[in-house]
Amino acid sequence: MQEAMERKGEAGIPLPVKRSNGDEIGQLEESFNHMIHELEESRQREQQEEKIRRELIANLSHDLRTPLTTIRAALNGVSPEVTSEQGQDKLLSVNNKIDYVSDLIDNLLSFTLLTGKKYPYHPEDIEMNRFIRETAAHWYPALEEHGIEVDVQTLDKPIYWNVDPKWMERVFDNLLQNLVRYASDGGYAGLAVTHDKITVEDHGPGMKKTADRQGTGIGLSIVELMTREMNVRLAIETDEQGTKVSMTKKDAHA
């Protein structure tokens, strides 16, 4: 019986044993096989439920994007007819909410794919100084619009990380989206590269002050999942003076 417990199939469940005879040992073997059968059925149900959940979220994400696109198009159509400053402010607010919901949909789908090990992962050597400069340039208009000073510090010496560039882009998009939405009052966004670490820093109210605000949780969960899969150590320091997110690549090389 002990040997049977150590022999496991592909699903990690012990393999059934052959019943030896009709005595108490045989009854124990039969009970053991019955337990294995129930475990296999339970695992199959879990896998089927997980598949249905992923398909449901994928379909729901697609179905939600369609009306959002229609709403945005309608707002763009009526925007020229709205001449008052108050009306334009309200249109901008609605557009921002559409962006917010769209980001939530993307994060929900990404989180589902990540937890189901279905998110494509293609690592390659990325020069991180260049990556950070390009990320800052991409986000500069949005940061400037919210009155956020951008401070970018990179090195002259190339720093290479073997990561998926699309995953890293998603990590920084989530971090900077949260910074714009919840830490813009601090008026500061710092991105820095050292020989073994990359940091994103703000002077906002801290995550404890914004923890109850919608949208921060799933975005950070995606950051945590992606960095873990890329063998990147994530550390977050936060207080009422601001938040600093540090990422260290365990096998970073120059």
Please state, in angstroms and rounded to a whole number, the distance separating the CA atoms of residues 171 and 109. 15
Per-position b or e across 34-58, b if 16+ CB within 10 A of its CB:
eebeeeeeeeeeeeeeeeeebeebe
| The dihedral sign for the CA sequence 211, 213, 218, 222 | negative
Last residue of a domain, one of 58, 88, 119: 119
Same domain, 46 and 149: no
Q: Is the pTM of this model over 0.85?
A: no
157 burial level (CB within 10 Å; 0-12, 13-18, 19+): exposed
Which structural domain range is residue 4 located in? 1-119
For residue 228, what is the domain's CATH number?
Answer: 3.30.565.10
- Classified as helix, coil or strand, 113 is helix
Tens-digit pLDDT profile for residues 195-247: 889 999 999 999 875 544 444 578 899 999 999 999 999 999 999 999 999 99
User: What contacts 71, CB < 8 A, 6 or more positions away?
Assistant: 94, 98
For the ranges 10-14, 45-49, 162-166, the maximum mean pLDDT occurs at: 162-166
Q: Please say if the pLDDT value at position 111 is more than 80.
A: yes
Please state, in angstroms and rounded to a whole number, the distance separating the CA atoms of residues 5 and 17. 9
Q: Please say if the pLDDT value at position 254 is more than 50.
A: no
User: What contacts 72, CB < 8 A, 6 or more positions away?
Assistant: 95, 98
Structure tokens at 224: 């945590």
How much is the mean pLDDT over the chain? Answer: 84
Same domain, 115 and 140: no
Same domain, 26 and 115: yes
User: What contacts 91, CB < 8 A, 6 or more positions away?
Assistant: 75, 78, 79, 82
